[in-house]
Amino acid sequence: MTQVEAAAYTGDEMMAVAAARRLRNGMVCFVGIGLPSQAANLARATHAPNCVLVYESGTIGAKPTHLPLSIGDGELAETADAVVSVPEIFGYWLQGGWIDIGFLSAAQIDRHGNLNSTVIGSYESPRVRLPGAGGAPEIAAGCRETFVMLRHESRAFVEKLDFLTTPGKGVTCVVTDLGVLEPADRGELMLTELHPGVTADEARGATGWDLRVSDDPRQGKPPNRDELAALRALKPPNGDTVAR
Amino acid sequence: MAEIVSVAEAVEELVRDGDAVALEGFTHLIPYAAGHELIRQGRRDLTLVRMTPDIVYDQLIGMGCARKLVFSWGGNPGVGSLHRLRDAVEHGWPEPLKLEEHSHAGMAAAYAAGAAKLPFGVVRGYEGNDLAARTRVARIRCPFTGEQLAAVPAIRPEVGLVHAQQADREGNVLLWGIPGVQKEVVLASRRSIVTVEEVVSRLEPRPNAVFLPSWTVTAVAVAPRGAHPSYAHGYYGRDNGFYERWDEISRDRERFRNWMARHVLEREPLPV
């Protein structure tokens, strides 16, 4: 397949493509809004048509043609194999151990993949009050693997979290706009893959701890034409309602 | 048996200052009409319970109706922050807001326990994080296997408020599409108000729909488009554009108050 030039895609698109490539056909994915939803739907539109998308609104096997803004948009319910209640989705399906991959994001991550989505600053008088835990702690605990998608910058990749919302022990990869990190010895994240045109030093500079880099990090491939076309076709027709 | 009344009468009769109220609906069927009526009637010191506060609680908080928020994820879905919620927590405006926060699974289990009139729900969670120390949760040991689990206290609101597609003249309620925790919240609450898109002479049975018998509901009120800007499956879609515009409307205190005065207190319809 033809590869496109570096300038022809965005960092977010590279993240969605890199995460989508890691999904195999038939995998059951617990998907949140934004980049995870893009990645899982891209996989379904390209190499993994039988990837099963489960949204926390209780829609199992949703097959949206465009990216939803919320986890409960009507199209998810209309295209799902089943629609169940919230206690059921978290109780039977997530905690019951039926999900392969859970996707998460956060405001902060540390070297062990622990995540903060609760506050920046102190809990009692936060500088920034973030949305909070949502489904994250149980997604990380209940899925076989957790993929984290997060833009790589030092204010997000921190030495010490302001608040630990979600333990990182199930994290098997962190996809950023610079590359991919995977847990190595004692669970510490190590940079194992670089996106096209990115150097290990750039990744180190965007990380708030002394980032370990594997001996010979893999060089990721840029999005190909088919991937980009499929990804862009998922965006809603009016252009501006893609989840951020 | 549920009485069929107006939204204003239902709120007037059933919701008191200081009550713990739960307005539920997971993205779908969020009871906006009932929430706006709470604001118009000037309810104060409410404990607002809801998994995903959404714009409706941003509005109630910004209008000074709430003393405490019990929640599990407080953002504008797919858009960003709830600015009124943040302003209350970060700056105490218009007044300080106490928080009791959970994870989704914890809160779902707490509602299910409330519906079952059990004292607590059980989840495998709240472990290894900072949340456990900041919320109402206890570690328990399974009497059969010895496994360590988390107990979350049951949610039993004074008033549960939900929106549904239809009721019949006897006050039986039918809702379908994403069912969220609506059934749980009505059964867990001491009193309940269900707003509906319409009252029909006969409810068509739908397999797997949520049916709430009239004898489980205190009051039913007709509120067409009462879930807007969320949606009512089969009636109207989610107004994603409004969720995006809310980001601008709610960012500034004065602009927010003006918007609320115009569109909620004075009921000026939104431009289509």
| Prediction ipTM score | 0.95
- Which chain B residues have a beta carbon less than 8 Å from that of A59? 178
Residues of chain B with pLDDT > 70, as a percent, come to 100
Answer yes or no: is pLDDT of A3 > 80.
Answer: no
In a domain, A238, yes or no: no
**What is the number of domains present in chain A?**
1
Hey, are the CB atoms on A133 and B81 less than 8 Å from each other? no
Which regions of A78-224 does DSSP assign to beta strands (E)?
Answer: 82-83, 101-104, 108-109, 115-116, 119-121, 126-129, 145-149, 171-175, 179-183, 189-194, 212-219
Following CA atoms A206, A210, A215, A217 in sequence, which dihedral angle do they give, to the nearest 10 degrees? -20
Contact B193, B36 (CB under 8 A): no
- Which chain B residues have a beta carbon less than 8 Å from that of A164? 128-130
In a domain, A241, yes or no: no
Verify whether residue A56 is a known catalytic residue: yes
Task: Identify how many contiguous H helices and E strands chain A contains and give both numbers.
Answer: 7, 14
Other C-beta atoms within 10 Å of B144: how many?
6
User: Lowest-pLDDT range, A3-17, A72-86, A230-244, B147-161?
Assistant: A230-244
Q: The domain that contains A212 carries what CATH number?
A: 3.40.1080.10
In a domain, A243, yes or no: no
What six digits make up the tokens of A174? 């962190």
Q: What is the pLDDT of residue A244?
A: 30
Q: What is the mean pLDDT of chain A?
A: 93
In a domain, A23, yes or no: yes
Q: What is the mean pLDDT of chain B?
A: 97
Following CA atoms A121, A126, A128, A133 in sequence, which dihedral angle do they give, to the nearest 10 degrees? 90
Following CA atoms A45, A48, A50, A53 in sequence, which dihedral angle do they give, to the nearest 10 degrees? -70
| Minimum Cα–Cα distance from B230: chain A residue | A73
Using 50, 70 and 90 to split pLDDT, how confident is the model at B142? Answer: very high
Hey, are the CB atoms on B105 and A90 less than 8 Å from each other? yes
Residue from B131, B148, B183, B231 to probe the interface with A (highest A Cβ count within 10 Å) = B131
Cα–Cα nearest to A31, from A184, A135, A157: A135
Q: What is the pLDDT of residue A2?
A: 55
Contact A140, A134 (CB under 8 A): no
Among the options A56, A138, A193, A227, which is catalytic?
Answer: A56
- Which chain B residues have a beta carbon less than 8 Å from that of A41? none
Hey, are the CB atoms on A57 and B27 less than 8 Å from each other? yes
Other C-beta atoms within 10 Å of B23: how many?
26
Cα–Cα nearest to B106, from A33, A169, A132: A132
Using 50, 70 and 90 to split pLDDT, how confident is the model at A237? Answer: low
Digit-coded pLDDT (tens) for B201-245: 999 988 889 999 999 999 999 999 999 999 999 999 999 999 999
Q: What is the pLDDT of residue A242?
A: 35
In a domain, A242, yes or no: no
Q: How is residue B271 annotated by DSSP?
A: P
In a domain, A136, yes or no: yes
In a domain, A240, yes or no: no
Q: In terms of DSSP bridges, do strands A179-183 and A189-194 run parallel, antiparallel, or are they unpaired?
A: antiparallel
Q: Domains of chain B by range and CATH?
A: 3-102+158-265 (3.40.1080.10), 120-153 (no CATH)
- Its domain, for residue A38, covers 6-233
Hey, are the CB atoms on A133 and B183 less than 8 Å from each other? no
**What is the distance between the alpha carbons of residues B139 and B125, in angstroms, rounded to a whole number?**
10
